[in-house]
Structure 1
Amino acid sequence: MEHQQRPCLSLGPVYYLWDGPKWRDFYFRIADEAPVAHVVIGETVCSKREHFIEPHVADVVERLEAAGKQVVFSSLAMVTLERESQRVRALVRDSTHPVEVNDLAALGLIKGKPHSIGPLVNVYNAATARLLAGRGAVNICLPPELPMRSVREIASSMPDVSFEVFAFGRMPLAISARCAHARSKGLVKDNCQFICGEEPDGLPLRTLDRQSFLVLNGVQTMSHSCVALVGELDDLGAAGIARIRLSPQDCDMVAVAKLYQSVMEGRLGSEEAIDRLQAIYPAAPFSNGFYHQKEGAAWIAKGRTAGLGL
């Protein structure tokens, strides 16, 4: 049975290191102009970056909530130090807002309290989703590497849980205790000098034959391509997906959100939307391969999905 309710848009956390004023002004504009219902904020990738945004968090939350957005706080993707453990404990214990869990450390602490699951947690099947829902998860953002067949199966098996799909942005692929970004600049993690801030959209990597491959973002590895599930929005809505997640890139994310909203409302065709999206974010090729059971970096044009088992 197809679900008739249209999904809403959500905005994931900024994965990159942006300076405090840029981070603040980004969210101020999201609050004032972007048609998103849910906004996840907070440092997810590297705890050393937290002091850049801390002075602005209260103002950002106030502005977003005044605009009617639901604010969710993100937990760290990897906890390796005692001070990081203390920060996660404090977040779970003291936050007056919902928390999005991005690793098993926070998951163990938050058991029994309503929370969200972020795309960095590997939810690959319905059994895992049921386990997480039984522990208090009320919204689960599925990992971007899942094909539509799996998305549909998971969502249909649990109609009372809100599911979210990663539909725009470079894919978060891996996280490490070491910082390859700093190492590439001749530095080490403990004295990184916040060099990752020099690439507000990530540091591109190339193979030996100069082919674009991946992107470094501090301790995080991301895809070179940018997921763009514009032509798939109708299918996601029909499958019962409640939220469509946009992951912030260093571009006009208000324009991205308005474009996705126009497609979901039927005011703009997906092919024209892709053309406009390329103008908004020309920094990376678009991909939707995982969704169509192909390699993740592939681009499957709409109308070419016959025989893919979708």
Structure 2
Amino acid sequence: MKLSLGPLLYYWPKQNVEDFYQQALNSEADVIYLGETVCSKRRELKTRDWISLAKELNNQGKEIVLSSMALLEAPSEVKVLKQLCENGELSVEANDVGAIQLLSELKVPFVCGPAINCYNASVLKIFVNKGMQRWVMPVELSRDWLAKIVSDCEDSGFRSQFEIEVFAHGFMPLAYSARCFTARSENKAKDDCELCCIKYPQGRPTTTQEDQQVFILNGIQTQSGYCYNLINDLPSMQGLVNVVRLSPSDTQAFTILKQYRDALSVGIDPVKLATKECNGFWHQIAGLQTQG
């Protein structure tokens, strides 16, 4: 199995982003995704900057993929999407069905991102016919669900035509909204948010009255409050999964990539997950729970 570094979901200063991806080149990641997937107002790096950075990283021993926005709300955002799709060199992770249609028309190979609601072999067959080369399973699906989809794809004779990638570590994107929850948490309107996301480089945690961290606010994106961690579940991915994704929240991601590489190459004893880690979805139980 290969390891991937998912797109940076948070809003960081431009220099921090560029430094991060230079480090990523020397990391254990086989595949590196980059691009703004959450909010078009985040312009520390403009579209041309993301494309330029991606092309700079390309051909240096890693597969580089440009990731698109998950929620398009304005013509200007569609224009940005077209720029990504027409980059002329790199494949694209489509996080919106409109992106899939555009990429298909341009005959650009693409990755179907986890933000797209794709839950069965019939939809996967449609996407494969449009040029999909890899499917990133939605985060809420279980191993059993994946095994059923793989079996259905094999029965239909097209399983070998695409790779399967699983989100295995990080704070899971659970929902997107036209509203900006980070701005609202500061009593700001979305249109006058003052780009307050940049003050929360790992998102803004929210807790219950019992002080349980249930969600993380990240602009229009709501993430899990617990960090998903499937390191103990790697053996159960054999035969099903081609790529294991780690979603970065800081440079600690490179240490975690090394831990996953060790687990894949030499094997490790099962580790005890930390208090605020979980693996529930993979085991078809409540997402914030742990099993094993």
TM-score by length of structure 2 reads 0.91
Change (3 A) 1:267 1:63: farther
- Asked if 1:289 corresponds to 2:280, the answer is yes
Asked whether the 8 Å contact 2:13–2:44 carries over to 1, the reply is: no
1:23-58 CA distance string (max 9 Å, x none): 1111111102x1111111010000111343657546
- Pick aligned residue for 1:42 from 32, 35, 60: 35
Aligned residues: 284
- Tell me the alpha carbon deviations over residues 86-145 of structure 1, each in whole angstroms, 9 at most, x when there is no partner: 111222233421010001221221225221101111121222212211221110000111
Task: Find out whether 1:172 has 2:183 as its counterpart.
Answer: no
Q: Which of residues 7, 18, 28 in structure 2 aligns to 1:24?
A: 18
Aligned residue for 1:216, secondary structure, equals strand
The DSSP-based 3-state class of the residue aligned with 1:270 is coil
Change (3 A) 1:17 1:154: same
Q: Offset of 1:286 from its aligned partner? A: 1.0
Partner of 1:139: 134
Alignment check: 8 A CA contact 2:51 2:84 kept? no
Matched residues in 2 for 1:255 and 1:99: separation? 26
Q: Is the 8 A contact 1:166 1:245 kept in 2?
A: yes
Unaligned stretches of 5+ residues in structure 2: 154-158
Q: Would you say the 8 A contact 1:24–1:56 is kept in 2?
A: no
Q: Distance in 1 between matches of 2:259 and 2:52?
A: 27
RMSD (CA atoms): 1.9
Other-structure match for 2:225: 224
Distance 2:18 2:171 in 1: 21
Letter in 2 for 1:24: E
Deviation at 1:78, TM superposition (A): 0.6
Q: Give the deviation of 1:198 after TM superposition.
A: 1.0
1:173, 1:296 → 2: CA distance? 10
**Does the 8 A contact of 1:79 with 1:105 survive in 2?**
no
The alpha-carbon deviation at position 270 of structure 1 amounts to 3.0
Contact 2:47 2:83 in 1 (8 A): no
Secondary structure of residue in 2 paired with 1:128: helix
Shift of 1:249: 1.4
Using the TM superposition, give the Cα deviation of residue 266 of structure 1 relative to its aligned residue in structure 2, in angstroms: 2.2
Which amino acid in 2 is paired with 1:177?
Answer: A
Match of 1:248 in 2: 248
Letter in 2 for 1:25: D
Displacement of 1:159 in angstroms is 3.1
Instruction: Find runs of 4+ consecutive structure 1 residues off by over 3 angstroms.
Output: 50-60
Distance apart, 1:62 and its partner CA: 5.0
Answer whether contact 1:31 1:63 (CA < 8 A) is retained. Answer: no
For residues 267 and 213 of structure 1, the distance between their equivalents in structure 2, rounded to whole angstroms, comes to 32
C-alpha distance in 2 between matches for 1:78 and 1:173: 13
Distance 1:297 1:137, change over 3 A: same
Q: Any unmatched runs of 5+ in structure 1?
A: 1-6, 279-283, 302-310
1:110 corresponds in structure 2 to 103
Report the TM-score, using the length of structure 1 for normalisation.
0.86
Deviates more, 1:216-225 or 1:191-200: 191-200
1:130: which partner in 2?
Answer: 125
> Where does 1:42-81 land on structure 2 (aligned, <5 Å)?
42-52=35-45, 57=50, 60-61=53-54, 64-81=57-74
* 1:20/1:56 contact within 8 Å kept: no
Task: Report SS of the residue matched to 2:171.
Answer: strand
Q: Between 259-268 and 221-230, report the one with greater CA deviation.
A: 259-268
